[in-house]
Amino acid sequence: MSYDGWILLTASLVGLVCGLVGALLILRRMAMMADAISHSVLLGIVIAYLVTRELSGAHMLLGAAAAGLLTAVLVQWLHARGVQQEASIGIVFTTLFAIGVVLIATQVGNAHLDVQHALMGEITFIPWETTRVPGLGEIPESVLTLLIVLLVVGGLIAAFYKAWKITSFDPALAAALGIPVAFMHYLFMTMISVTAVAAFDAVGAVMVIAMLITPAAAAYLWTDRLSVMLLLSGLFGVLAAFAGYAAAWVLDTSISGSMAFATGVLFLISFLISPRHGLAARRLRAHAAAGRLKS
């Protein structure tokens, strides 16, 4: 595949996997947690690097999963002791992120890992860092990681579909029915963590938040069914990847930045014209209702 082909594939996979996880994230009202985890996984990556001295996919995924879970547990721990939810999120992730930054500056300090890269990603390097996969040949390591994460995350969403639905909609009933609500919560936090780290190389910690939240928020405006929202959200993520790539090519600017911008444009369009919740539709309905009142 061509250099541009790999970049488009990487970006599309990021959009797809972030869109899927993002849909549940929005419905569980945890957008702030995504913000937190996408930053604190940096610490997990740095520690994984310090322990193994290499930046391979598997180690980074494990480190990120651990850091994400640690974030979720610490936030819960502080919250249970009287600290406001949002305050505890803010305290935990900035602290973990700061430790990660300090470790990079003092312990790692080489070309493979720097703060700029962590925040913004560098998708243009991805096609060069390849690995050999039996049956697929030489493919970029990031693409392999993203494929694995997509399979795992997509599989978990499909397998536990009913449990995700009920624990998101009515956790009290879910718990009363014997569905392990806390386990599902931490499983979801782990899914966000591995998604964030898989997308990390491509788009970085800041842009991954846009990829997680915005396509899902747009999809939410188009449908009244959870399954459709999940698919639409993934599709919007892929669309944003293509549109962002095209925009970056035309404007000769950052690919990840353009992708995040494209998600924003998609959301704005949805916000204006989606049939049920869109601004235009609401105006029309209000107008029609006013007409009925007059006649």
Partner 1 sequence: MEPVLQVRGLHAAYRRTKVLDHVTFDVMPGTLTAIIGPNGAGKSTLLKTMLDLHPRLGGEVRFFGTAYRNAKLKVGYVPQRGSVDWDFPTDALDVVLMGLYGRIGWFRRPGRRHRELALEALDKMGMADFAKRQISELSGGQQQRVFLARALVQDADLYLLDEPLAGVDAATERAIMEMLRTLRAAGKTVMVVHHDLQTVEDDFDHVLMLNRTVIAHGPTTEIFTQDTIARTYGGWLRRKERVTG
- Closer to partner 1 by CB, 114 or 171: give it: 171
Residue 177's φ and ψ, nearest 5 degrees, are -80, -5
Residue 276's φ and ψ, nearest 5 degrees, are -95, -45
Contact status: 27 vs partner 1 (CB under 8 A): yes
Which among 13-21, 137-145, 224-232, 238-246 is the span making contact with partner 1, rule CB under 8 A?
A: 224-232
In the complex, minimum distance from the CB of residue 179 to partner 1, in angstroms, rounded to a whole number: 7
Contact status: 176 vs partner 1 (CB under 8 A): yes
Residues 6+ apart with CB under 8 A from 173: 166
Please give, one letter per residue, the 3-state secondary structure of 148-170: HHHHHHHHHHHHCHHHHHHHHHC
Contact status: 184 vs partner 1 (CB under 8 A): no
Question: Rounded distance, CA 67 to CA 93, Å?
Answer: 10
The CB density around residue 95, as the number of other CB atoms within 10 Å, is: 14
Q: x/- contact string, 273-292, with partner 1 (CB under 8 A)?
A: ---x----------------
Structure tokens at 247: 């925009």
Contact status: 29 vs partner 1 (CB under 8 A): yes
In the complex, minimum distance from the CB of residue 29 to partner 1, in angstroms, rounded to a whole number: 8
Contact present, 233 and 157 (Cβ < 8 Å): no
Contact status: 21 vs partner 1 (CB under 8 A): no
Contact status: 164 vs partner 1 (CB under 8 A): no
Q: x/- contact string, 228-257, with partner 1 (CB under 8 A)?
A: xx----------------------------
Interacting residue with partner 1 among 177, 272, 279, 284 (CB under 8 A) = 177
Question: Rounded distance, CA 121 to CA 38, Å?
Answer: 12
**Termini Cα distance of the chain:** 64
- Closer to partner 1 by CB, 97 or 236: give it: 236
Residue 155's φ and ψ, nearest 5 degrees, are -65, -45
In the complex, minimum distance from the CB of residue 226 to partner 1, in angstroms, rounded to a whole number: 5
Contact status: 271 vs partner 1 (CB under 8 A): no
Question: Rounded distance, CA 55 to CA 116, Å?
Answer: 16
Q: Position 154: which residue type? A: G
C-alpha closest to that of 60 among 74, 73, 41 = 41
Interacting residue with partner 1 among 120, 166, 206, 247 (CB under 8 A) = 166
Which among 8-16, 50-58, 135-143, 159-167 is the span making contact with partner 1, rule CB under 8 A?
A: 159-167
- Closer to partner 1 by CB, 55 or 179: give it: 179
Q: Where are the beta strands (DSSP E) in 92-186?
A: 130-133, 137-140
Which among 62-70, 104-112, 177-185, 206-214 is the span making contact with partner 1, rule CB under 8 A?
A: 177-185
Contact status: 185 vs partner 1 (CB under 8 A): no
Half-sphere exposure of 248 toward its Cβ, with a 13 Å CA cutoff?
22
- Contact set with partner 1 (CB under 8 A): 27, 29, 82, 159-163, 165-166, 168-170, 172-179, 220, 223-226, 228-229, 276
